A = this chain, B = another copy of it.
Amino acid sequence: MKNSNIQKPVVLVIAGHDPSGGAGIQADIESIANAGCHAATVITSLTAQNTNQVIETLPQEPDSFRKQIKLVIEDMKIASCKIGMIGSIKLIDVIKEELSKLNIPIVLDPVLSSTSGQTFTNKEMCEDILSSLFPLTTLATPNSEEAKLLSQATDLNSAAKSLLKHGTQAVLITGTHEATDNVTNSLYTENDAPIEFHWERLPETFHGSGCTLSSRIAALLALGNNLNTAVEEAQAYTWNTLKHGLKLGHAQSQPDRFYEK
């Protein structure tokens, strides 16, 4: 048994489940475990999906969902939290109320649709995410399309400024969907100039890259890294999981979160 002082930090994950194992809590569990942390996962919505399509989203009832979060946070010391796909407006208030009790870094990946095009979030949910969850958020990690949709802005600088006004301490906008040769991700904070990160664009499309990135950042924050280091190292890890991606189904590839094995 390890000395109780050197236990692994626990990252609370609040996200959807994807049976194919590319995205959702499985992506989070693997990305967090690979970083040397332990994930505790509360599922917002079950889904029926494969590497090609999402055909059904089944959100949990708020009462069961709350019970599951409460049991975990009353039992374990939580070091950080990652929020992913939510799937139902009823769950947003529960998340807000339960996370307000904890004073921990929160990474919010506002998953508005799947890479294959399924929409998870309507306008009312977007507004509720902004008003209820952004004020609790340390870092939001929208892709460029999600950033524009959430902020109603047409360019990324304006989108980032608008999202920061809703209370998140920082915004990392990922640029995979932009028509650029390389992928540019940009980290925005209130007072500093944006920091740009450039990554070689890979030819495939992937199922679960955003989940992998955001949960890795949450794990690196749980381990005590500052935000800039966590954001930079998590991108490098995620890029490697994509570079070594697996083609396990007929459509999108999956990140290999244990590419060393």
**Which residue numbers of A lie inside 8 Å of B, CB to CB?**
1-2, 4, 7-8, 10, 17, 19-21, 25-26, 29-30, 33-34, 36, 38-43, 46-52, 55-56, 58, 60, 64, 67-69, 71-72, 74-77, 202-204, 243-251, 253-254, 256-258, 261
Q: How many protomers of this protein does the assembly include? A: 2
CB-contact partner of A248 in B1, B8, B245, B254, under 8 A: B8
Contact A67 B76 (CB under 8 A): no
Closest 3 CB pairs of A and B: A50-B75, A75-B249, A50-B71
Contact A55 B26 (CB under 8 A): no
CB-CB nearest in chain B for A6: B246
Contact B64 A41 (CB under 8 A): no
Q: A257 — which chain B residues lie within 8 A by C-beta?
A: 33
Contact B76 A248 (CB under 8 A): yes
Contact B64 A248 (CB under 8 A): no
